[in-house]
Structure 1
């Protein structure tokens, strides 16, 4: 059993907000050791696991955009949104689709003009949307033939 009287979800959240994920995980482990049914600590433990594991990567071979996701928690409540932008930053369109599995891959054709793509995965938790993963944007400088 943990002897750290300061271990709490509040302290772990402070570490998380400062970007100290390993410290936050250690504090949450200690807090849950002391009180395994602490609701705030359980929610934060899940959030920390998500931040550690989930990923979304965009890649392109010039003809198609490929989105790959890994370790998405609760995939049946998770959605990936891809948005295309032209070289002026104007939205060209996009797609939102259910992840359905913890990992997967989807291909999309590029718009017929020079464009950039951005993507994110979010999960519905009751009446809130929780960010799960954000991909680094990719661009295609030339339009389709």
Structure 2
């Protein structure tokens, strides 16, 4: 019996990002090591490695609810006095794009909050949100949610 030659292994920073999003962190680390072995200056891979090094156990869950705004839950956040839930909403307008940014302090490791936007931020719109702390010089993300569009 003869063996079929194996297909070349897929090496991709994008695949590593999918692994991260699905919490398959060991596969992501191995994939990123292979990408960086082939190209030590691969920008996307380097950014993902930095993201994984800074990764905490904190998680964000969010969804847009028409008429009720953006509902957000978080858990396993570090209990820091300067921890905030930050949201930015981008909406097309006659002048280009309108940006609305706000935040709320997180007083516990787990919680939920609903952001209601001016004019109800009806679609089309895209929001990005993160759990972050201000260290006096810059915002330090603890958890980042994938962009939401409606």
- Relative to the length of structure 1, the TM-score reads 0.54
1:66 to 61, 64, 71: 71
Aligned to 1:85: 90
Equivalences, count: 97
Query: How far apart, CA to CA, are the structure 2 residues paired with 1:118 and 1:66?
Result: 13
Would the alpha carbon gap of residues 83 and 126 (structure 1) be closer, same or farther in structure 2, given more than 3 Å must change?
A: closer
Structure 1: segments with no counterpart, 5+ residues? 1-18, 22-46, 141-145
After TM superposition, the structure 1 = structure 2 runs for residues 47-62 of structure 1, keeping only pairs within 5 Å, are: 51-62=55-66
1:118 to 95, 104, 128: 128
Query: How far apart, CA to CA, are the structure 2 residues paired with 1:121 and 1:136?
Result: 12
1:20 equivalent in alignment to 2:24: no
Aligned to 1:137: 147
SS in structure 2 of the partner of residue 75 of structure 1: coil
- Relative to the length of structure 2, the TM-score reads 0.53
Structure 2: segments with no counterpart, 5+ residues? 1-27, 31-51
Deviation at 1:127, TM superposition (A): 4.5
SS in structure 2 of the partner of residue 86 of structure 1: strand
Query: How far apart, CA to CA, are the structure 2 residues paired with 1:114 and 1:106?
Result: 22
Backbone CA RMSD of aligned residues = 2.9
Deviation at 1:20, TM superposition (A): 3.4
Deviation at 1:131, TM superposition (A): 1.4
